[in-house]
Structure 1
Amino acid sequence: MILAVDIGNTAIKLAVVDDVSVYDLIRTSQEEFISHVKSFCSSYPDLTDACICQVGKIDIKLLDSLERLLNVTYITKDSKLPFSNNYQSDSLGNDRMALVAGAVKNKGQNTLIIDAGTCVTYDFIDDTNTYHGGAISPGLRLRFESLHNFTKNLPLLQPEPNQQLIGNTTSTSIQSGVVNGLTFEIKGMVKKYKKQHPDLNVIITGGDADLLVKQMKNRFFATPFLMLYGIHNIYKINS
């Protein structure tokens, strides 16, 4: 087992992960990060290692403190991966590598991984376990923030599911444009991929996955622990 640490753009997630399951997933602030790590160490006496997937910022002193408590592996562009990488750039994000690593158990099937977080990422791995890339677009909150920050009068809203198509107020018009807009984008992407790969397996994960799955009328299922399983998979082949 390891302590999987997912340092994202908007949150830090911690969980104990082994070959079977994810245990005690929590979200934490930087201020409480080390106290939560110590709590995990107390609750799991056999816990000796941690693996970090970082895309957001964190105080380096916190990582130094973590290294005094556990043996730490960092996911980097030089990490060994449990799939072949056909991406034509060395700037592939650590989060995208971990997400794909979490999906490799689906070997033998073409898979599209959709991560609905701060950004929405689309990552395609084929039935030979070869990763090819995908797409990146703004997530729900970035879309709401952009409308508010780059206009004079539009309010800043939070996403809500089950939006009517025709908004009859400014707020419902924004909700329709943003929530329905991203829903249509995802459906369109999946349709395009399925034209090329009829056997396509679709995985949706990330902070907004539940809301978007409901919006798409349960056409897909949210997979909340994909990143954490991917961190564990990468750790195993690099330890």
Structure 2
Amino acid sequence: MNVAVDSGNTYSKIGWFDEDKLISYQTRLIWPDLIREIQNNLPDQIIYSSVNKPAEEFREALGLAIPVLDLSADIPVPIKKEYKTPQTLGADRVAAAAGANWLFPEKDLVVIDMGTCITYDLVDRTGAFQGGLITPGVKMRFAALHSFTKRLPLFEPVAVPDFIGKSTKEAIESGVMNGVLAEMEGIIERYRHISPSLRVVVCGGDIPFFESSLKPAIFVVPELVLIGLNRILRYNVALQ
């Protein structure tokens, strides 16, 4: 049994795999719960990816003699990186791209991850990660409007509202949510100029707000990063 761990800025996700099959997964785990879940259900090996806690801290907290593969920039991955600065390429972007390429082989893909930031990455049909765009995430946009003004209050994400807001609250909600929707549709359309047949694969915690409103056809895969992490783990095991 393999375990894939994606530790984010606030919460962590964990997936349990039998070879390539995802058996179960959990999201929105805080650090102590993540450690406890693994200690209570011992895997054979673990792949670990984090934006804020180094692998050594994870190994120390775990306190178990289980192999842990740290997804660093130097780890071999089953996709090619056509990226000018591979050392700065986020592990979550790599994992999502690897997962999408595994699910949709030999297809041109745009991989969208709607987390703290929104990333739009092109993975071509040869399995090459070509790069993409990084924009502020939904909550970051609400926070920016509040932080950089004196009077605008802080609001939370909502389902895509009416376009014309009739109050300050509605106007902010429309500006952020409809703005993100327009951004996504526009960027997908720009990518279709590159490859008209490409598929759009989306993951991330904020996609439920937009899934029913997006006009282009999309494939929503909530566990995409975990699937990609497991593929990278199995790829490295095969190289040994």
TM-score by length of 2: 0.91
* 1:16 to partner: Cα distance: 0.6
Q: Is the 8 A contact 1:30 1:58 kept in 2?
A: no
Where do 4+ consecutive residues of structure 1 move more than 6 Å?
Answer: none
The percentage of counterpart residues that share the same residue type is 34
Larger mean Cα displacement after TM superposition, 187-196 or 21-30: 21-30
The equivalent of 2:75 in structure 1 is: 79
Write out aligned runs for 1:16-95 (5 A): 16-18=16-18, 19-41=20-42, 47-57=43-53, 61-66=57-62, 68-89=64-85, 90-95=87-92
Q: How far apart, CA to CA, are the structure 2 residues paired with 1:221 and 1:104? A: 13
Deviations 1:146-203 (A, max 9, x none): 1111111111111111311100111100010000000000000000111121101000
Deviations 1:41-78 (A, max 9, x none): 2xxxxx21111011133695443132525211110100
Amino acid of the structure 2 residue aligned with 1:39: N
Equivalent pairs counted in the alignment come to 234
The change in CA–CA distance for 1:216 and 1:208 in structure 2 (over 3 A counts) is: same
TM-score by length of 1: 0.92
Deviations 1:88-112 (A, max 9, x none): 1121111111111101122221100
Q: Is the 8 A contact 1:117 1:139 kept in 2?
A: yes
Q: How far apart, CA to CA, are the structure 2 residues paired with 1:109 and 1:62? A: 35
Amino acid of the structure 1 residue aligned with 2:4: A
Q: How far apart, CA to CA, are the structure 2 residues paired with 1:82 and 1:192? A: 27
The equivalent of 1:97 in structure 2 is: 94
Write out aligned runs for 1:1-239 (5 A): 1-18=1-18, 19-41=20-42, 47-57=43-53, 61-66=57-62, 68-89=64-85, 90-105=87-102, 106-216=104-214, 219-239=217-237
Deviations 1:201-232 (A, max 9, x none): 00010001121112326842421011000000
Give 3-state SS (helix, strand or coil) of 1:100's partner: helix
Deviations 1:123-168 (A, max 9, x none): 1011111111000000000001111111111111111113111001
Q: Is the 8 A contact 2:13 2:25 kept in 1?
A: no
Give 3-state SS (helix, strand or coil) of 1:162's partner: coil
Q: Is the 8 A contact 2:110 2:198 kept in 1?
A: yes
Q: Is the 8 A contact 2:11 2:27 kept in 1?
A: no
Q: Is the 8 A contact 2:6 2:226 kept in 1?
A: yes
Q: How far apart, CA to CA, are the structure 1 residues paired with 2:36 and 2:118? A: 31
Q: Is the 8 A contact 1:51 1:231 kept in 2?
A: yes
Q: Is the 8 A contact 2:15 2:25 kept in 1?
A: yes
Give 3-state SS (helix, strand or coil) of 2:152's partner: coil
Give 3-state SS (helix, strand or coil) of 1:52's partner: strand
The equivalent of 1:44 in structure 2 is: none
Unaligned runs of 5+ in 1: 42-46
Q: How far apart, CA to CA, are the structure 2 residues paired with 1:144 and 1:94? A: 26
Larger mean Cα displacement after TM superposition, 32-41 or 4-13: 32-41
Q: How far apart, CA to CA, are the structure 2 residues paired with 1:231 and 1:59? A: 15
Q: Is the 8 A contact 1:204 1:221 kept in 2?
A: yes
Amino acid of the structure 1 residue aligned with 2:46: A
Q: How far apart, CA to CA, are the structure 2 residues paired with 1:166 and 1:156? A: 19
Amino acid of the structure 2 residue aligned with 1:104: N
Q: How far apart, CA to CA, are the structure 2 residues paired with 1:198 and 1:64? A: 48
Give 3-state SS (helix, strand or coil) of 2:201's partner: strand
Give 3-state SS (helix, strand or coil) of 2:210's partner: helix
The change in CA–CA distance for 1:59 and 1:194 in structure 2 (over 3 A counts) is: closer
The change in CA–CA distance for 1:98 and 1:219 in structure 2 (over 3 A counts) is: same
